[in-house]
Amino acid sequence: MELRPSPHARRNRLIQDAVWISLIVALAVFGPDRQTETTVLLAALGVLQLLESRVSFFARPRGLVVSFLFKLALCFVLIGMTDGIASVYYWILLLPVISASSSLGLVGTAVAVIMACAAYLVFLHPYFLRQYYVAEEDIPQLILRLTILPVVGFLTHQLAEASREEARRYKAVAEQLSEANRQLREAEAAMRRSERLAALGQLSAGLAHELRNPMGTMKASAEMLARNVEGSNDVAREMAGFISSEVDRTNSLITRFLDFARPLSLRLDKTDVADVCDRAVAELERHQPPFDVVICKNYSPDAPAVPMDAELMERAIYNLLLNAAQASPPNGAITIKTREIDGTVEIAVIDCGAGIERKHLENIFNPFFTTKSNGVGLGLAIISKIVDEHGGKIAVESETGRGSTFRLYLPLREQEAK
């Protein structure tokens, strides 16, 4: 993507161009030598100065060098046409020197100054001195003319470097502010999610307890009906079986509600993350029906042990692997990897499945939000709760049609866990 200059930079560029053009116009109109050739050369310098700030080629190092050489050549011709070593236009060499000093760095500044001085000293060659005479008393003035070029070039370089340093500092501050804003948005989103989890957890707990008793009565009634109905009444037996199985399914759902709503009591112990991941993978491989996926392990040998409740964390990782397997195509690959990063251990579960639509990413950790036809939307909410209780974070990256990556970040220090 092409970077455009800021409004402040564009305004400064316009002011700089206006100053140079005003100077060149003043020289062409009021200068000591107003011949047509001199006016043409001054006009060429003005056009080149305008192009330098507007043509992208001149913004690159090669373009800057080409621009400097053209300006130096035009200045050389102009001085040569106006009395050579005695020309009143000797200071026009400041134009290429200033341009190079503001853009080409210290080495470029030194080379530009040497070339400008050499271009002026060429007029001391006997070929040019046939027309002009340099008296002994003119030598100090000649030295002063040569001295002004490195002085102006060095000062211009220093000012340009200070300006670039200030720009880099402002850019770094802007990036820090952008990162702080991003972290603040993430913290706000996590806080809102925690508040929703707390409120819905209380609701789920109350609702689950209220439903348990009638479910038990319905289950007992269905079993009694199945035992007492006449053997020839197949319809009644089938209906009693339906009631019993649906009650069991509803009880399983209520259990998941209670798991979500129940406060977690962590039993923290230093545990090898790779061992927990291996147990979660083994549990998935025992899952019925079996999934036609390949699981790749990429564990960092440098990942240290983490204070965690191994049973709860195994459950969280298993649920992530289960979601990845359900989203993956036949013969798809799932990668589980670990590494240490910024005072945490990262556990990543990566799949190449259907992915998650961008509009759903903000809601996938909310309870009861699901895009599955037979899901209830508590799996990721429970995983998020387990990770939060450990003082960690969960993040997701996903692209529709290309898969998803879920990352768990667990703190290495026990006091950071809740």
Give burial (CB, 10 Å; 0-12/13-18/19+) of 101. Answer: buried
Q: Of the candidates 215, 205, 248, which has an alpha carbon nearest to the alpha carbon of residue 378?
A: 205
Residues 399, 402, 403: CA angle, nearest 5 degrees: 75
Please identify, among 234, 261, 288, the residue that sits at the C-terminal boundary of a domain: 261
Tell whether the torsion through CA atoms of 321, 327, 331 and 336 is positive or negative: negative
Please identify, among 134, 169, 195, the residue that sits at the C-terminal boundary of a domain: 134
Is the pLDDT reported for residue 246 higher than 90? no
Give burial (CB, 10 Å; 0-12/13-18/19+) of 380. Answer: buried
Residues 310 and 229 both lie in one domain = no
Residues 273 and 409 both lie in one domain = yes
Per-residue model confidence as pLDDT tens digits over 155-214: 888 888 888 888 888 888 988 999 889 888 878 877 776 676 667 666 666 676 677 778
Residues 300 and 386 both lie in one domain = yes
Residue 217's region, left for phi above 0, alpha for psi from -120 to 50, else beta, is alpha
- DSSP β-ladder status, 403-411 and 344-351: antiparallel
According to the model, what pLDDT value does residue 5 have? 54
252: domain CATH number? 1.10.287.130
Please identify, among 212, 227, 261, the residue that sits at the C-terminal boundary of a domain: 261
Residue 163 falls inside a structural domain: no
CA–CA distance, 32 with 149 (Å, rounded to integer): 22
Residue 156 falls inside a structural domain: no
Residues 371 and 251 both lie in one domain = no
Higher pLDDT, 266 or 391: 391
Residues 59 and 124 both lie in one domain = yes
Instruction: Tell me what the pLDDT averaged over the chain comes to.
Output: 79
Q: How many domains are there within the chain?
A: 3
Residues 279 and 393 both lie in one domain = yes
Decide: 74 and 41 in contact? Cβ < 8 Å.
Answer: yes
Output the DSSP codes for 358-408.
GGGTTTTTSTT---STT--S-HHHHHHHHHHHTT-EEEEEEETTTEEEEEE
Tokens 């112990």 belong to 269
Residues 304 and 212 both lie in one domain = no
Cα 157–chain centre separation = 33
Q: Which helix (H) or strand (E) holds 337?
A: strand 332-341
Q: Which domain holds residue 321?
A: 269-416
Residues 240 and 280 both lie in one domain = no
Residues 6 or more apart whose Cβ sits within 8 Å of residue 250:
211, 215
Residue 379 falls inside a structural domain: yes
According to the model, what pLDDT value does residue 418 have? 44
Residue 358 falls inside a structural domain: yes
CA–CA distance, 95 with 366 (Å, rounded to integer): 65
336 forms beta bridges with 297, 349
Query: Peptide bond preceding 289: is omega within 30 degrees of 0, i.e. cis?
Result: yes
| Single-letter amino acid, residue 89 | Y
According to the model, what pLDDT value does residue 2 have? 42
Residues 203 and 109 both lie in one domain = no
According to the model, what pLDDT value does residue 408 have? 93
Per-residue model confidence as pLDDT tens digits over 86-135: 777 788 888 888 888 888 888 888 888 888 888 888 887 776 655 566 66
Is the pLDDT reported for residue 216 higher than 50? yes
392: domain CATH number? 3.30.565.10
Residues 285 and 187 both lie in one domain = no
Residue 147 falls inside a structural domain: no
Residues 37 and 123 both lie in one domain = yes
According to the model, what pLDDT value does residue 195 have? 73
Per-residue model confidence as pLDDT tens digits over 355-410: 888 888 877 877 666 766 566 667 788 888 888 888 888 989 988 888 899 999 99
CA–CA distance, 201 with 261 (Å, rounded to integer): 4
CA–CA distance, 68 with 58 (Å, rounded to integer): 10
User: Both tokens of residue 214?
Assistant: 């009638």
Residue 125 falls inside a structural domain: yes
Q: Of the candidates 353, 341, 349, 346, which has an alpha carbon nearest to the alpha carbon of residue 297?
A: 349
Residue 155 falls inside a structural domain: no
Residues 238 and 304 both lie in one domain = no
Residue 150 falls inside a structural domain: no
Per-residue model confidence as pLDDT tens digits over 1-17: 344 555 655 676 677 77
